[in-house]
């Protein structure tokens, strides 16, 4: 791919995943400025881009570190020079926990940090066992920051707020290799609630539950260092809570079509689409054309891609043509169809699983029409699911 660097966007073969670097950098700065304004830490979720280069860019812009969801994602980022990582997920298999413990020993001499979530007594004991075994066999007394994950409405992982969380905090404190770092309270379901009122209601109820849990834990003399959570859809609410000290938003950097369908709240920071699938029209018919990007090029779990329109007269609607094809028809009020060989730009419905379909992202400077390929960004943690 490096042969593309310095060439025009026209030289990019299709289908390909392309990042508009100018837009991405504006999104980066907007979120960094937003976090600074609210005096909260920013720890973007790197499961979205899976790239060490972009994680470092976010940290250079002020992020304290990044989040990942999987042990192997953490390994991929650490081995590419990212040294402050939070696995915002529960890890239970002993062989994986041994890898987590090994990462803490890699990071300790580098001044790096690793954090992880727990939501059960058994999970804490397993983590402690693997950390202790690692300490004994290596002689390195590394530590791991441990966050108790609370279920604040998503009904996925997370212990119930209140007394059950206190039991976990007491257990964490028994293990010298585990450092109780605080609470993770991420409300995934709230991120794509379409109206600001729905999102507000969901997050205010989460904040109430977190505040109560925070008080219960501090009342028995255990300090809750940090409350961390929030995604791109709700970050302003958590940021204004004076309870959350860290935001984990990830999608803001690329912004997908699903997020664009959210109705914006007043004062919410605005992010622009920066991730595109470049595709070519390969077949033309009376009422539709066909492009060469199907769902092997972009994820469709959160809806089909939108076609980036350079003018209102060229609006197209994408429908599913299978693995390798997309079917395009003129949007309502338009009759124009692109000609054979035309290049189009799709905005994926969901950026995270779309990125995971590609080995690299092609970084373009100067826009999608006249831009130049500036660099190739590796998806270092592509396929890291374990």
Ligand X SMILES: Cc1ncc(COP(=O)(O)O)c(C=O)c1O
For residue 153, state whether it binds ligand X (rule: CB under 6 A).
no
Provide the minimum distance between the beta carbon of 284 and ligand X in the complex, in angstroms, as a whole number: 37
Q: How many residues does the chain have?
A: 386
DSSP conformation letters of 109-159? GGT-EEEEEE-SHHHHHHHHHHHHHHHHHH-----EEEEEEB-SSS-SS-B
For residue 276, state whether it binds ligand X (rule: CB under 6 A).
no
Pairing between strand 289-291 and 306-307?
A: unpaired
- Give 42 or 76: the residue with its C-beta nearer to ligand X: 42
Q: Which residues contact 215 (CB under 8 A, 6 or more apart)?
A: none
Binding mask 165-204 for ligand X (x = CB under 6 A): ---------------------x-x--x-------------
At 145, phi and psi to the nearest 5?
-80, 130
Number of H helices, E strands in the chain: 10, 17
Pairing between strand 316-320 and 326-330?
A: antiparallel
For residue 268, state whether it binds ligand X (rule: CB under 6 A).
no
Distances in Å between the alpha carbon of 207 and those of 40, 89, 220, 278?
15, 20, 20, 41
- Give 164 or 188: the residue with its C-beta nearer to ligand X: 188
H helices within the chain, ranges in order?
A: 21-38, 52-60, 71-79, 94-107, 121-138, 163-172, 196-219, 235-239, 257-260, 351-355
Provide the minimum distance between the beta carbon of 89 and ligand X in the complex, in angstroms, as a whole number: 7
- Give 112 or 188: the residue with its C-beta nearer to ligand X: 188
- Give 305 or 371: the residue with its C-beta nearer to ligand X: 305
- Give 11 or 385: the residue with its C-beta nearer to ligand X: 385
Number of residues that bind ligand X (CB under 6 A): 13
Q: Which of 249, 274, 281, 291 binds ligand X (CB under 6 A)?
A: 249
Tokens representing 290 are 């066909």
Q: Which of 65, 231, 269, 330 binds ligand X (CB under 6 A)?
A: 231
Q: Give residue for tokens 């002993």.
A: 94
Q: Which of 142, 251, 279, 297 binds ligand X (CB under 6 A)?
A: 251
- Give 29 or 320: the residue with its C-beta nearer to ligand X: 29
Q: Which of the ranges 70-78, 165-173, 249-257, 296-304 carries the binding residues for ligand X, by CB under 6 A?
A: 249-257
Q: Which of 23, 45, 126, 135 binds ligand X (CB under 6 A)?
A: 45
- Give 27 or 248: the residue with its C-beta nearer to ligand X: 248
Provide the minimum distance between the beta carbon of 41 and ligand X in the complex, in angstroms, as a whole number: 13
Which residues would be at the binding site for ligand X (CB under 6 A)? Answer: 45, 48, 67, 88, 186, 188, 191, 231-232, 248-251
């Amino acid at each position: 791919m490096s042969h593309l660097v310095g060439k025009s966007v026209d030289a990019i073969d299709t289908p390909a995943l392309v990042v508009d670097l100018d837009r991405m950098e504006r999104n980066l700065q907007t979120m960094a400025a937003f976090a600074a304004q609210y005096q909260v830490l920013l720890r973007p979720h790197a499961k979205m881009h899976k790239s060490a280069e972009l994680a470092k860019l976010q940290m250079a812009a002020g992020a304290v570190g990044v989040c990942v969801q999987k042990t192997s994602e953490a390994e991929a980022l650490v081995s590419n020079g990212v040294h402050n990582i939070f696995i915002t997920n529960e890890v239970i298999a002993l062989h994986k926990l041994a890898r987590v413990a090994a990462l803490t020993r890699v990071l300790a001499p580098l001044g790096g940090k690793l954090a992880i979530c727990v939501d059960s007594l058994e999970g804490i004991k397993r983590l402690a066992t693997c950390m202790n075994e690692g300490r004994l066999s290596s002689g390195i007394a590394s530590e791991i920051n441990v966050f108790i994950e609370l279920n604040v409405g998503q009904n996925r992982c997370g212990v119930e707020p209140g007394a059950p969380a206190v039991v976990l905090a007491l257990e964490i404190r028994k293990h010298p290799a585990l450092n109780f770092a605080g609470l993770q309270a991420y409300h995934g379901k709230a991120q794509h609630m379409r109206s600001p009122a729905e999102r507000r209601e969901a997050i205010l109820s989460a904040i109430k539950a977190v505040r109560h849990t925070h008080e219960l834990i501090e009342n028995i003399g255990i300090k809750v260092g940090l409350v961390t959570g929030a995604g791109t859809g709700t970050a302003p609410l958590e940021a204004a809570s004076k309870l959350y000290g860290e935001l984990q938003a990830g999608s803001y950097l690329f912004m997908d079509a699903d997020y664009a369908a959210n109705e914006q709240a007043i004062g919410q920071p605005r992010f622009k689409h920066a991730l595109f699938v470049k595709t070519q029209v390969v077949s033309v018919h009376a009422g539709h054309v066909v492009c060469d990007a199907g769902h092997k090029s972009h994820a469709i779990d959160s809806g089909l891609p939108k076609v980036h329109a350079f003018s209102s007269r060229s609006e197209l609607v994408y429908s599913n043509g299978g693995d390798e094809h997309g079917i395009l028809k003129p949007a309502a009020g338009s009759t124009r169809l692109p000609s054979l060989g035309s290049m189009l730009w799709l905005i994926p419905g969901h950026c995270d699983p779309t990125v995971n379909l590609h080995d690299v992202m092609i970084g373009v400077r100067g826009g999608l029409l006249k831009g130049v390929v500036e660099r190739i960004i590796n998806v270092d943690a592509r396929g890291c699911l374990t």
